[in-house]
Amino acid sequence: MNLEFMQKTIRKARGLEDSDLVLKNANIVNVFTHTIVSKDIAINDGKITGIGSYTGKEEHDLNGAYVLPGLIDAHIHIESTLASPLRVSLPLLKRGTTVLMADPHEIVNAGGKAGLDYMLEEAALSPLDIYVMMPSSVPSTGFETNGAGDFMARDMEPYVKNHQVFGLGEVMRFHDVLNGDKCMLEILETFEGRPIDGHAPGVHGRDLMAYRLAGITSDHEAVNADEAIEKLEAGLHLFLREGSGAQNLEAILQGLIEKGVSLENCSFCTDDKHLEEIETRGHIDWCLKKAVDVGADPIEAVCMATIQSARHFGLKEHGAVAPGYLADLVIVKDLKDFEIIDVYKTESRTRRSKRNSPKPCRLQKTRKPKQSGGNALRRCITACICRRSRRTICRYSRAICTGLNSFQANCSRAMERCTSKMEKIRWPCWASVSSFFANAMEKPVLFKAVWSKGSV
């Protein structure tokens, strides 16, 4: 701890010195007391240092707008957006999402370690805080032929100490868990004490007890209220899913509300959601609106999108608007439609961890990292965004294991055939992202969302 820096921060928190940035006249959603607090928000070095009456070197008048913590997607496969982590970051920020718990299950099944390295490298460059959950089921079943072959505990061990790897992704091979399969138990043991996501469709009774006993901490596969209640009773944290394919939020939440079940151990996730739908309909902000529409208390819905996910995963700096928390803030017009006015986002966790001493948080201009396995894969992937493009990508994923050059050639031919129907996005979009960050560099502490309504 830099004592001189801390002393100065304490003086600012006490109002003895001007803060770097103050958001004036805010209606703050307090996720601890479930109340609305009308006060100012003082921000220094990218963190909230005070709630009350403050003056700042820079002040933004919110005119009574509501302030929420940055939204958290508790479980997402970024590959299902049909875009790279870097490409999808700005549309998600526009929708108020600041944290992703990402399971790169698909790309690791196709590309193995090269696919995982690629996702870690892209996540490190993203302005979002992307925490990676290690894919647990590669391949997904014992009958599946994938591109990468087996990805076992010994393959995961080098990544366990990587600060970007936060836990174990959804354990799809639940039959292996229930049968006490040695390889699966070794994987679970590798991540003992960390969050372990579940995947247990139709698992009930004693089998559910055994699945929970193995160390699984969450599940997102419930499709109705009765199944959801059984999993909550077993001690699992429930992710209510609202994606492009599976949409279970309304059926589950309505049932839980009608039966008076506590929502304290519930969060929102999208699992699989296409970029087109994120841009047109929404992301976790859409979950908030839908939850209120089916009868959830607005503040309780905000808690499900923020602090409850943060507590489940142990994200101590995320999920609340209070001193000591990161100043990842979403400014909305009301607590019914959750129309976003602005988004504030601090420096991502990866960039913060590389700093030796406290400095004003700002987004760094992106640059291409050194070549590695992940970058080799990056050069050979072209994303095709349309309703049916997943089929095109899957068709050529096998070529990764036979040669990246072959995969590149196949994708190029596919792109030529689909030009009239698809929007081309090459991974990564260095030029557009660099120009975006160049504009953001003018803000010394935080940047006020240049992707807010009407600007993207």
Both tokens of 255, joined, read 């049932």
Q: What is the pLDDT of residues 352-373, one digit of tens each?
A: 555 443 333 332 322 333 334 4
Residues 345 and 93: beta-carbon distance below 8 Å: yes
Residue 79 DSSP label: G
Q: Is the pLDDT of residue 104 over 90?
A: yes
Both tokens of 159, joined, read 């990544």
Specify the pLDDT at position 353. 53
Q: What is the pLDDT of residues 403-440, one digit of tens each?
A: 334 434 444 444 444 433 333 332 222 233 333 333 33
Report the candidate in 26, 103, 106 with the shortest Cα–Cα distance to residue 69: 26
Residues 103, 169: Cα–Cα separation, whole Å: 5
Report the candidate in 383, 328, 315 with the shortest Cα–Cα distance to residue 78: 383
Which helix (H) or strand (E) element contains residue 279?
A: helix 275-280
Q: Is the pLDDT of residue 455 over 70?
A: no
* Mean pLDDT (the chain, rounded): 81
Residues 200 and 221: beta-carbon distance below 8 Å: yes
Residues 185, 150: Cα–Cα separation, whole Å: 15
Which residues are bridge partners to 99 per DSSP? 72, 129
Q: What is the pLDDT of residues 37-95, one digit of tens each?
A: 999 999 999 999 999 999 999 999 999 999 999 999 999 999 999 999 999 999 999 99
Specify the pLDDT at position 1. 61
Q: What is the pLDDT of residues 440-451, one digit of tens each?
A: 333 333 333 333
State the helix-helix crossing angle for 182-190 and 153-160, rounded to 10 degrees: 0
Specify the pLDDT at position 352. 53
Q: What is the pLDDT of residues 217-243, one digit of tens each?
A: 999 999 999 999 999 999 999 999 999
Report the candidate in 271, 344, 267, 263 with the shortest Cα–Cα distance to residue 313: 267
CA 445 vs CA 99, 128, 434, 449: distances in Å = 19, 16, 18, 13
Both tokens of 382, joined, read 């072209």
Q: Is the pLDDT of residue 398 over 50?
A: no
Specify the pLDDT at position 7. 92
Q: What is the pLDDT of residues 235-287, one digit of tens each?
A: 999 999 999 988 999 999 999 999 999 999 999 999 999 999 999 999 999 99
Q: C-alpha angle 255/284/394, rounded to 5°? A: 100
Specify the pLDDT at position 411. 41
Specify the pLDDT at position 381. 40
CA 188 vs CA 102, 153, 193, 253: distances in Å = 18, 8, 10, 30
Residues 104, 83: Cα–Cα separation, whole Å: 12
Mean pLDDT for 192-206 is 95
Residues 406, 328: Cα–Cα separation, whole Å: 43
Specify the pLDDT at position 356. 41
Both tokens of 182, joined, read 């040695």
Place of tokens 């990544």: 159
Both tokens of 313, joined, read 């995963």
Is the pTM above the cut of 0.75? yes
Specify the pLDDT at position 437. 34
* Positive or negative: CA dihedral 348, 124, 382, 395: negative
Question: Residue 422 — φ and ψ, nearest 5°?
Answer: -125, 155
State the helix-helix crossing angle for 284-293 and 298-305, rounded to 10 degrees: 150
Place of tokens 């009301």: 334
Specify the pLDDT at position 149. 82
Specify the pLDDT at position 132. 96
Q: What is the pLDDT of residues 306-352, one digit of tens each?
A: 999 999 999 999 999 999 999 999 999 999 999 999 999 987 655 55
Residues 278, 180: Cα–Cα separation, whole Å: 39
Specify the pLDDT at position 233. 97
Residues 319 and 69: beta-carbon distance below 8 Å: yes
Kindly calculate the radius of gyration of the chain based on its CA atoms and give it in whole angstroms: 22
Residues 129 and 122: beta-carbon distance below 8 Å: no
